Structure 1
Amino acid sequence: MDLIEGFTDFHNHILPGIDDGSPDVETSLQLLKKFGEFGVTSFVHTPHVMNDYHPNTPETIHAALAELQSAQHPDIKNSAAAEYMMDQSLMEKLDDEELLKISGNFSLVEMSFLQAPINLKEIIFKLQNKGHVLILAHPERYGFNHSADLKKYTDLKNRGCYFQLNMLSLSEHYGKGIQKMAFKLLENQMIDYISSDAHRMEHLEKLQHIKLKSKEIEMLKPIIEKSKELFA
């Protein structure tokens, strides 16, 4: 993935000790150093906000960011947002808490991998009414949306959702079915952005070994540029 030099990675789990990503500052520093091998030194950190599993708040997220910044190299650029699970807990937060955005009005959201929320349309509508422009994380990984006609994906796009592809979905890391859907979404020009979703060193090591065909590289180039433009 030597295409991403100068890129801002806006979906990752590098902040120490607050979700299922990096457990401590030392590990976070190792991950940042590894990213440097790709020419990536700018990050928006997006820990999970997920009901009782990862009940993060702007306060816990900014505290972890401050801890990392105090230990890291000064040339690394960091900010923080979150990856919000679209569920009832998020609906309840909307009136009381200002959600963290990755850039401008763009907010990163996800769904359960088991099934879409029953009230998905209501959640999307309410978030948009609050001024959020939604980027749906790793749409290729929601198996319940997979179909030959991409109908469910088209519906989400028509509702104003942007799609962010995980870099590792270009490999068989999540399985061949996920990889196949990743390329199908790319071929149908449904992917808007790309990011790492890195949780651990293994993820970054696997990125180094992804082999892409020239046609695939050409499909990715405008998506990488658009991702950069979020932070221009």
Structure 2
Amino acid sequence: MFGFFKKKKTLKELIPQNFIDIHSHLLYGLDDGSKSLQETKSLIADLNSFGFTQFITTPHTTPLVWENTKDQILDRYEKVRTELNMSESELRVASEYLIDDSFLKRLENEKLLTLKDNYVLIEMSYINPPIQLYEIIMELNSQGYQPVLAHPERYNFYKNDYDSFKRLKNAGCLFQMNMLSSTNYYGSGITAIADYLLKENMYDFAGSDVHHQKHINAFNAEIKLKNIDTFEALLIKNSFFKQ
């Protein structure tokens, strides 16, 4: 009887030691993430206190919004790493690429910044998927990239459309869950979708997607998932990116 009222663990309590984060916006001044070196330093310190020890930070590359070039991202990364005296294993850099109608042209003209080897983090618009979605995934695969779709649970156009998730997986897309989706941070509906994808073992990795202090504070929230054991196992899968 008393087990029914047992307090659920918070997100920060479930994070394994030496956790490797593969999705964040810690490089200041590039997008809607950190705004200053001091904020970057503070965010990293807070994440370190939760058990994070390595970061592959992923500033947005979003046409017409955050027009970050590869050189701009790499320059800011080297500046931050030097200023914070972090090793290349502690802080690495990739990008979170918005896949839209212009993405195929980008693929033709530049080598993408990857999480590791050929693993590239991609996202879609929250309004609708690109018309050429499956053509883009096919082209990424044909060029040797392994697409990792960021936070599939957050695309509301796939709500209750679970066949689309399966089709994406069958097309060769890996899934990265946002850790805060476990806490109702984005809403209970998003958490419910994340729970379904966990139950179906469709996630491959997890990421913090930390932008600011509000995200950090949310790590103190209780887990709202039914499939907590699967979520904990998912966090351990990030060890694939250990350096």
Give the TM-score band, short-chain normalised. over 0.9
Q: Distance in 1 between matches of 2:86 and 2:65?
A: 32
Q: Distance in 1 between matches of 2:20 and 2:29?
A: 22
Asked if 1:106 corresponds to 2:119, the answer is yes
Overall identity of the aligned pairs, in % = 34
Please say if residues 83 and 109 of structure 1, whose CA atoms lie closer than 8 Å, have aligned partners that are also in contact: yes
Opposite residue 207 of structure 1, the aligned amino acid is F
Q: Could you tell me which residue of structure 2 aligns to residue 11 of structure 1?
A: 23
Opposite residue 228 of structure 2, the aligned amino acid is I
Q: Could you tell me which residue of structure 1 aligns to residue 145 of structure 2?
A: 132
Shift of 1:72: 1.2
Please say if residues 16 and 236 of structure 2, whose CA atoms lie closer than 8 Å, have aligned partners that are also in contact: no
One of 220, 223, 226 as aligned partner of 2:231: 220
Residues 1:73 and 1:212: Cα distance change in structure 2 (over 3 Å): farther
Q: Which moved more, 1:159-168 or 1:221-230?
A: 221-230
Map residues 187-226 of structure 1 onto 2, 5 A cutoff.
187-211=199-223, 216-226=227-237
**RMSD value, Cα:** 1.6
Shift of 1:147: 1.4
Please say if residues 48 and 83 of structure 1, whose CA atoms lie closer than 8 Å, have aligned partners that are also in contact: yes
SS of the residue corresponding to residue 73 of structure 2 reads helix
Map residues 64-79 of structure 1 onto 2, 5 A cutoff.
64-74=76-86, 77-79=90-92
Q: Distance in 2 between matches of 1:82 and 1:59?
A: 12
Q: Deviations over 1:156-182 (max 9, x none)?
A: 000010100001111111111101111
Opposite residue 136 of structure 1, the aligned amino acid is L
Please say if residues 32 and 41 of structure 1, whose CA atoms lie closer than 8 Å, have aligned partners that are also in contact: no
Shift of 1:193: 0.8
Higher RCO (Cα < 8 Å, 6 or more apart): 2
Shift of 1:73: 4.3
Map residues 170-189 of structure 1 onto 2, 5 A cutoff.
170-189=182-201
Q: Distance in 2 between matches of 1:38 and 1:5?
A: 8
Q: Which moved more, 1:203-212 or 1:80-89?
A: 203-212
Q: Distance in 1 between matches of 2:46 and 2:37?
A: 14
Q: Distance in 2 between matches of 1:203 and 1:38?
A: 13
Q: Could you tell me which residue of structure 1 aligns to residue 39 of structure 2?
A: 27
What TM-score, normalized to structure 1?
0.94
Opposite residue 22 of structure 1, the aligned amino acid is S
Runs of 5+ consecutive residues of structure 1 not aligned to the other structure = none
Q: Could you tell me which residue of structure 2 aligns to residue 231 of structure 1?
A: 242
Please say if residues 103 and 231 of structure 1, whose CA atoms lie closer than 8 Å, have aligned partners that are also in contact: no
Runs of 5+ consecutive residues of structure 2 not aligned to the other structure = 1-11
Tell me how many residue pairs correspond in the alignment.
230
SS of the residue corresponding to residue 41 of structure 1 reads strand
Residues 1:113 and 1:212: Cα distance change in structure 2 (over 3 Å): closer
SS of the residue corresponding to residue 139 of structure 2 reads helix
Please say if residues 6 and 41 of structure 1, whose CA atoms lie closer than 8 Å, have aligned partners that are also in contact: yes
Please say if residues 25 and 67 of structure 1, whose CA atoms lie closer than 8 Å, have aligned partners that are also in contact: no
One of 172, 181, 187 as aligned partner of 1:169: 181
Q: Distance in 1 between matches of 2:77 and 2:138?
A: 30
Q: Distance in 2 between matches of 1:67 and 1:206?
A: 29
Opposite residue 218 of structure 1, the aligned amino acid is D
Opposite residue 81 of structure 1, the aligned amino acid is A
Opposite residue 219 of structure 1, the aligned amino acid is T
